[in-house]
Structure 1
Amino acid sequence: MADVNTIRTTAGSRAAQIDEGLRAHMNKVYGTMSVGMLITFAAAWAISGLAVTTDPALAAAQIGSDKYLTSLGAALYMSPLKWVVMFAPLAFVFGLGAGINRISAATAQLLFYVFAAVMGISISSIFLVFTGYSIAQIFLITSIAFASLSLWGYTTKKDISGWGSFLIMGVVGLIVASIVNIFLGSPAIMFAISALGVLIFAGLTAYDTQQIKNEYLAHAGQGDTEWLGKSAIMGSLRLYLDFINMFMMLLQLFGNRE
């Protein structure tokens, strides 16, 4: 009987240790993601401030009755450089995903923060197009939706791993449609992309959260702290992308334009 009690005590202690480790892992995922989000919006706000002026003497192009683009703004939003700015975050994502096994967890975290800054530059034009109140309002809505979906993905007993292939196909479809619409400029197609995008990234938020949890549970017993550190960074990246894309889609749908 003593042996049975010892086994039960050991098993219970092991389960508690895994639960504690999982909470710490998820806290790191959400914490890293949150820092990345702050970097993104700080970079976007700062760049938009440098890109716009009300002084005609500093103007490179006029975008309103009393609003002008500076030389930096004209370079970012009107020159061929805009294509580099637009697609740089996508290149970062593929590069980080491909090279994660060859770099340390600390380097991966640094690259994630660099990526967040690059993403901020890429989306900085939202401060020129939409009102500040509208951006803050949509950000709050996105935060509430994201938190609810991620909590459901973390706590649900339902296996939603089967959603993955359909959601990834949906993301590929959105990317292709968005690239095509750059040349078509169709408001109807943009509305459809945004509406479908909200649904797809809402599903990905729950799916990715459950996958991050399951990946930790599958590797927790191996004691590979370096792998777990990298896993937390990649998990942060996945949830960051879910959040930022859902935010951008909702902003396109419901944001009030300047």
Structure 2
Amino acid sequence: MDPIQNRFGYGAQAQSAALFDEGLRKHMLRVYNYMGLGLVITGIVAFVVSQTPALYVPIFSTPLKWVVMLAPLAFVFFFSFRIHAMSAATAQLTFWAFAAVMGLSLSSVFLVFTGTSIARTFFITATMFGAMSLYGYTTKRDLAQFGSFLVMGLIGVIIASIVNIFLGSSALQFAISVIGVFVFVGLTAWDTQNIKQQYAENFDQESQQKLAVFGALSLYLNFVNLFQLLLSLTGQREE
């Protein structure tokens, strides 16, 4: 091949790779921004409700608490099955609504645990999440091989949690929390790598936006669940 042609060919490839990397960085930043804003909405709603007896008393002292507790799960199923049919704007609004409903569900945390332990657990969660998400983004190792085990672990944690609602076993709850922490730490790295791999520069703006929202939902769920599990292990309860 002509050296000049070879030089221009390599230059074009390098430029294309640079554009792809820049687009990927913007995409991941959008994902983390959506996730972060979702956590802010959740935190604000949870705190406001917990500080307003007129709101939390009718919820947590009546069977309505079960609706509030199960509503986030219904949102996740709806989101998963309808994301492809939604517009990007609808997907964003649905995610913000989900974050608000999750905040309503988590408001009981402020009623059970001290503010100091909540803050401490949040920063521990943020540190663990950040480290594992960074690992998932930067590692060259294919984490797909661990995906099936993590999903099986997640299903096991969910089933055990439902069973323990009726058993009320502290020992089982402790085991669920410990196993759950490992599962969601692994899922954080795995989901981050999946989000990175799913990005494609030839997606149109609408598709990239929806992909970012769905990615944010995955990471948001990992963060919230990890926070709850760590809080059940290390949180100090109100006296």
TM-score surpassing 0.5?
yes
Matches of 1:208 and 1:177, distance apart in 2? 23
The two structures have a TM-score, normalised by structure 1, of 0.90
In structure 1, the partner of 2:155 is 172
Counterpart selection for 2:140 from 146, 157, 179: 157
Whole-angstrom CA distance in 2 between matches of 1:46 and 1:73: 10
1:255 partnered with 2:235: yes
Mapping 1:1-258, distance limit 5 Å: 1-51=3-53, 70=54, 72-216=55-199, 219-220=200-201, 222-258=202-238
The CA deviation string for residues 114-156 of structure 1, in whole angstroms up to 9 with x for no partner, is: 1000000001101010000000000001001110010011001
Q: When the two structures are superposed, what TM-score results if normalisation uses the length of structure 2? A: 0.97
Higher relative contact order (CA 8 A, sep 6+): 2
**Unpaired runs of 5+ in structure 1?**
52-69
Is the helix fraction higher in 1 or 2?
Answer: 2
CA distance in 2 between partners of 1:178 and 1:77 (Å): 19
Q: CA deviation at 1:226?
A: 1.5
CA distance in 2, matches of 1:6, 1:21: 22
Whole-angstrom distance in 2 between the partners of 1:139 and 1:249: 11
**Mapped partners of 2:119, 2:102: distance in 1:** 18
Question: Distance in 1 between the 2:231 and 2:220 partners?
Answer: 16
The CA distance in 2 between the partners of 1:211 and 1:177, in whole Å, is: 27
Q: Which runs of 5+ in 2 are unaligned?
A: none
What RMSD over aligned residues (CA atoms) do the two structures have, in Å? 0.9
Using the TM superposition, give the Cα deviation of residue 75 of structure 1 relative to its aligned residue in structure 2, in angstroms. Answer: 2.3
4+ aligned runs moved over 6 Å, structure 1: none
- Shift of residue 197 of structure 1? 0.6
Number of aligned residue pairs? 236
- Residue 5 of structure 1, CA deviation: 1.2
Instruction: For residue 73 of structure 1, report the CA deviation from its aligned partner.
Output: 2.5
